Amino acid sequence: MNDHPGSYTIRMPRSDDFDFWREMARSLIQHEAAPDRVFWSEPGGEGDLFADDELALPDTHANSPAVRANRRFVNLARNAILHSDPERFALLYRVLWRLQNNPRILEDKADPEVRRLEELDKNVRRDSHKMHAFVRFRLVENTHGGVEAEERYVAWFEPDHHILRANAGFFMRRFANMRWSILTPQGSLHWDGHTMCEGPPAERSDAPGDDSMEDLWRSYYASIFNPARLKVGAMLKEMPRKYWKNMPEAALIPELVAGAQKRESKMVEAGTLEFEDRPETLEAIDKAIHACRKCPIGELDNHAVMGEGPSDAALMIVGEQPGDQEDQIGRPFVGPAGQLLDSHLEKIGIERKASYVTNTVKHFKYVRRGKRRLHQSPGAKEIDTCRWWIESERAIVKPKLILAMGASAARGMLGKTVSISKVRGSPIPLEDGSELWVTAHPSYLLRLDGPAREEQARLFDADLAAVKERLHELSG
Ligand code: URA
């Protein structure tokens, strides 16, 4: 049966199936099926199945003309197809149809169909961005016969568009070592550390409520909420009301807004942010940083890298942020800068294994150039946001001496920017009684050569030697 005689009705098998749409569209164009003869429907929607014999397109011949679609169109279409607008399949087909005669149509910014396509693409990208930022996992324990307990994290999210499957890879990479499920009204994803499975749509009540991680998020969020910098309106715009109920920290919004004035003056007085309810173990920090998206760096395709070393180390060595190799391996200072650091530590006689080695910023900030990810230094705001985690590590490890390597690490420790050449070589007392020593970052040495490198290596060794001697005094 065909509702539209002389036409084709295509029912999509899935709302987000770009490959299916592309195959159908290619065939239709090769059969010169004008857009007004093609009717597209959502899965489960009204309309006849394309598989109906009467409606099936005859096979295309090997010598059918090639269908023209430039890369820009394919990229836009791949995203736009995830939009919830039921008209999207038809719109895409109309644009593809027109592209056959006018390959430059996408350059016409005034064209209403091109404009609509770009709008769909933008809405979908925004929805994915919100999903990356606002998914909050809650810890649940699965018990097997009451004996084994296995940790699992479950999140509830309500996307506006069909973005769940398209974002599976992001969450898989981000939370590779966790077992997790993301439940949505459109379907669910389940990751067990090895395999991704899809499941049926879920309801809000299928996801758990409060858990202990929420306190951590709440206190972290409260601590970075700086009314002096953040306009409440901008924050609320970024975090639409519909996501509030899923986000533990959102419970704080009314309180934060009301208390903004008071907190501001308190912070100005103290010259610092106020921290509450810190995580109590390094393991808790490790778990929490993986879910941290409080600055744009956490939004990139990267992994949080936790500090490593004894939890009672007398020396804490602090770098800037993980590099490409650290991000992949999941340990600080294992790439070229780490190898250089190791050789200098060994030369001076500081045992790396006895030190706690960590970074100011926990995620790798980069720009992509082809297949390469090029390091980018974190900005002051990103360093300040991430201070919460290094301060938490410090509160647990309680090092006697901290060696900050480079300007970012120095800012992470002091909350302000200092000139390395001015502060290196002598201790800076910290409020908890420990001492901060500042030196250059080993990557700086790596960028030099010849006599300049030799000179900087000498200064670096001299700083390490002073740290070693001071540690000896403090331990004695
Ligand atoms: N640079 C850093 O600052 N930290 C690392 O872990 C690696 C390189």
3-state secondary structure the chain: CCCCCCCEEEECCCCCCHHHHHHHHHHHHHCCCCHHHEEEECCCCCCCCCCCCCCCCCCCCCCCCCCCCCHHHHHHHHHHCCCCCCCHHHHHHHHHHHHCCCCCHHHCCCCHHHHHHHHHHHHHHHHHHHHHHHCCCEEEEEEECCCEEEEEEEEECCCCCCCCHHHHHHHHHHCCCCCEEEEECCEEEEECCCCEEEECCCCHHHCCCCCHHHHHHHHHHHHHCCCCCCCHHHHHHHCCHHHHCCCHHHHHHHHHHHHHHHHHHHHHHHCCCCCCCCCCCHHHHHHHHHCCCCCHHHHCCCCCCCCECCCCCCEEEEECCCCHHHHHHCCCCCCHHHHHHHHHHHHHCCCHHHCEEEECCCCCCEEEECCEEEECCCCHHHHHHHHHHHHHHHHHHCCCEEEEECHHHHHHHHCCCCCHHHHCCCCEECCCCCEEEEECCHHHHHCCCHHHHHHHHHHHHHHHHHHHHHHHHHHC
pLDDT of residue 47: 41
- The pLDDT > 70 percentage for the chain reads 78
> Distance, CA 341 to ligand 1 centroid (Å)?
10
> Distance, CA 126 to ligand 1 centroid (Å)?
31
Q: Is 366 in the pocket of ligand 1 (CB under 6 A)?
A: no
- The number of the ligand 1 atom at minimal distance from the alpha carbon of 442 is 1
Mean pLDDT of 72-83: 96
Which one has a higher pLDDT value, 7 or 445? 445
The CA-CA-CA angle for residues 74, 79, 85, to 5°, reads 120
pLDDT of residue 472: 95
Residue 98 domain-assigned (yes or no): yes
**Final residue belonging to a domain, choices 206, 223, 241:** 206
Half-sphere exposure of 182 toward its Cβ, with a 13 Å CA cutoff? 24
Assess contact for 440 and 405: CB atoms under 8 A.
yes
Q: Is 333 in the pocket of ligand 1 (CB under 6 A)?
A: yes
> Distance, CA 435 to ligand 1 centroid (Å)?
21
- The number of the ligand 1 atom at minimal distance from the alpha carbon of 359 is 4
Same-domain pairing of 336 and 410: yes
pLDDT at 271 over 90: no
Which one has a higher pLDDT value, 118 or 62? 118
Same-domain pairing of 293 and 440: yes
Q: Which of 232-236, 328-332, 381-385 has the lowest mean pLDDT?
A: 232-236
Task: Place 129 in a pLDDT band, splitting at 50, 70 and 90.
Answer: confident
pLDDT of residue 137: 82
- The number of the ligand 1 atom at minimal distance from the alpha carbon of 319 is 3
Assess contact for 378 and 297: CB atoms under 8 A.
yes
Same-domain pairing of 362 and 428: yes
Q: Is 286 in the pocket of ligand 1 (CB under 6 A)?
A: no
Please give the mean pLDDT across all residues of the chain: 84
Residue 277 domain-assigned (yes or no): no
pLDDT of residue 78: 96
> CA 434 to CA 337: how far, in whole Å?
26
DSSP 8-class letter at 314: S
Q: Is 335 in the pocket of ligand 1 (CB under 6 A)?
A: yes
pLDDT at 227 over 50: no
Q: Is 337 in the pocket of ligand 1 (CB under 6 A)?
A: yes
pLDDT digits (tens, 9 = 90+) for 336-346: 999 999 999 99
pLDDT digits (tens, 9 = 90+) for 248-258: 656 655 555 55
> Distance, CA 273 to ligand 1 centroid (Å)?
26
Best probe residue, ligand 1, of 305, 321, 377 (max atoms within 8 Å of C-beta): 321
pLDDT at 293 over 90: no
Q: Is 412 in the pocket of ligand 1 (CB under 6 A)?
A: no
pLDDT of residue 230: 44
- The number of the ligand 1 atom at minimal distance from the alpha carbon of 333 is 6
pLDDT of residue 331: 96
> Distance, CA 245 to ligand 1 centroid (Å)?
37
pLDDT of residue 267: 43
Q: Which of 80-84, 102-106, 258-262 has the lowest mean pLDDT?
A: 258-262
Q: Domains in the chain: how many in total?
A: 4
Task: Place 354 in a pLDDT band, splitting at 50, 70 and 90.
Answer: very high
Q: Is 321 in the pocket of ligand 1 (CB under 6 A)?
A: yes
- The pLDDT > 90 percentage for the chain reads 61
> CA 180 to CA 196: how far, in whole Å?
10
Residue 97 belongs to what H/E stretch? helix 88-99
**Final residue belonging to a domain, choices 206, 229, 245:** 206
- The number of the ligand 1 atom at minimal distance from the alpha carbon of 331 is 6
Residue 275 domain-assigned (yes or no): no
Assess contact for 222 and 266: CB atoms under 8 A.
no
Task: Place 234 in a pLDDT band, splitting at 50, 70 and 90.
Answer: low
Same-domain pairing of 298 and 403: yes
Residue 97 domain-assigned (yes or no): yes
Assess contact for 28 and 38: CB atoms under 8 A.
yes
pLDDT of residue 50: 38
pLDDT at 206 over 90: no
Task: Place 245 in a pLDDT band, splitting at 50, 70 and 90.
Answer: low
- The number of the ligand 1 atom at minimal distance from the alpha carbon of 405 is 3
Mean pLDDT of 168-197: 90
Residue 235 domain-assigned (yes or no): yes
Q: Is 320 in the pocket of ligand 1 (CB under 6 A)?
A: yes
Same-domain pairing of 324 and 428: yes
What is the residue range of 185's domain?
135-206
Residue 276 domain-assigned (yes or no): no
pLDDT at 202 over 90: yes
Task: Place 351 in a pLDDT band, splitting at 50, 70 and 90.
Answer: very high
pLDDT of residue 317: 98
Best probe residue, ligand 1, of 358, 359, 374 (max atoms within 8 Å of C-beta): 359
- Which pair of structure tokens corresponds to residue 162? 């069909």
Residue 225 domain-assigned (yes or no): yes
Q: Which of 282-296, 394-408, 423-437, 460-474 has the lowest mean pLDDT?
A: 282-296
Q: Which of 6-20, 171-185, 318-332, 419-433 has the lowest mean pLDDT?
A: 171-185
